[in-house]
Amino acid sequence: MLEGADLRRLGEELFRRRSSDQGAAPDILAAMERLVRYQRPQERSAEVLRSLRAHMPQDVRGYVVSIDEASASGFRFDAQVGYNDALLGLVPANGPWRSPGPRLVPNLVAELFTSNDPNVRTDLGNLGMREATSALVVPVAGRFEEYGTLVLQRHGGPPFNEEDLKLAGRWANVLGETQSLAYELRLAKLSLVQFTRAFVQGFEAQEFSQLGHAERVTAYALALGRALELNRPQLADLYFAAMLHDIGKLGNGLDQAIEDLDHPQRGANMVSGSELLLPAAEGIRHHHEAWDGSGFPDGLRKESIPLIARVIAVADTFDLLSSERGKALPMREVEKALETASGTTLDPALVALFNNILRQGKSTQELSHLKDSDLPF
């Protein structure tokens, strides 16, 4: 989940590290911004392979083999270029990745074919690997652990040389560092998730009727976000905005009888100092805006209200109508009340979509339960 400030932070850190390397080529530095934009490790591996292939003459193909303790062989094919995605479905047993080097591979056939069983040899042969005339391997490692091995194979033309090995090694270093930084960022976000949950639970404990409100609103908002096909970074921002939408009431209490028109702006200001939470600030600030412009704090209307805030408004209203915190109406009456709010305080398209979710058979209790598997991290 890498986007916005995350990308800038990763890019700046990578540039700082790699620019201190006297041999770092400008094209590698320029590729970092592309690399960190990919969400999955496999996508970053594939981007490095494509870049290497583009910078080497003749027919160069390759793959990244990553360490996988769940695999029978302890490895898996993570990404490929120049072969076929059928390679990714094979279980790599023996091959040049067993001794990752960095090194040139003088006898690829022996390492790739002789040491494997007949079925694996047949599969690799069908992918054209017997025609490879030269190979090199370089390790892919981060700051704390080894990720796997990058293998390049040339089909015809001159064999790989030490300069090729050095270039591949620099790209592998960039890949390893990026994987490590992305992993660290994910751990930081998971820590923030745990802290946010604990903080909100303590905050809501001030007013017994509020217990569980933020988590229920978050579960409803994420269900609606998934129905809208929001991507993972957008869902992550929605998670934090929904969990912290009432944080501005801190100090003023959570009593529903006390109208606090300043809490959205106050809450947005409280999270704006955190780069990880900054994208959630607009959802917190505008979750009390109304579709018809009658809301607060800015009197926004219709699509000028950020989508993240419109989603939270629907989720918050539903919780007020359906839970013990509010009116605890029967579900049929909840749906009618949502329809009444549709087009006045709430986005009519989102109300229709949310009512469709409600009609899919899950109980309110099921829908309100926020499981770890629901978290977009």
pLDDT reported for residue 262 = 92
In tens, the pLDDT along 29-51 reads 566 667 767 878 899 999 999 98
Q: Report domain extents, the chain.
A: 5-183, 205-374
Q: Which of 4-13, 52-61, 96-105 has the lowest mean pLDDT?
A: 4-13
Q: Which residue has the tokens 């069983």?
A: 117
Tokens of 365: 């209790």
DSSP structural state of residue 246: T
pLDDT reported for residue 1 = 42
CATH 3.30.450.40 assigned to 5-183: yes
In tens, the pLDDT along 336-363 reads 999 999 999 999 999 999 999 998 978 8
Tokens of 147: 């990720």
Quote the CA–CA distance of 338 and 330 in Å, as a whole number: 12
DSSP structural state of residue 60: E
CATH superfamily assigned to domain 205-374? Hypothetical protein af1432 (1.10.3210.10)
Are domains 5-183 and 205-374 of this chain identical in fold?
no
In tens, the pLDDT along 323-340 reads 876 677 888 899 999 999
**131 versus 25: which is more confidently predicted?**
131
Residue 293 near residue 300 (C-beta atoms within 8 A): yes
Residue 48 near residue 174 (C-beta atoms within 8 A): yes
Residue environment code for 138-152, b if the CB has 16+ CB neighbours within 10 A, otherwise e: bbbbbeeeebbbbbb
Instruction: Look at residues 162, 292, 233 and name the one whose alpha carbon lies nearest to residue 6.
Output: 233
With a cut of 70, say whether residue 311 has pLDDT above it.
Answer: yes
In tens, the pLDDT along 215-270 reads 999 999 999 999 999 998 899 999 999 999 999 988 665 555 556 789 999 999 99
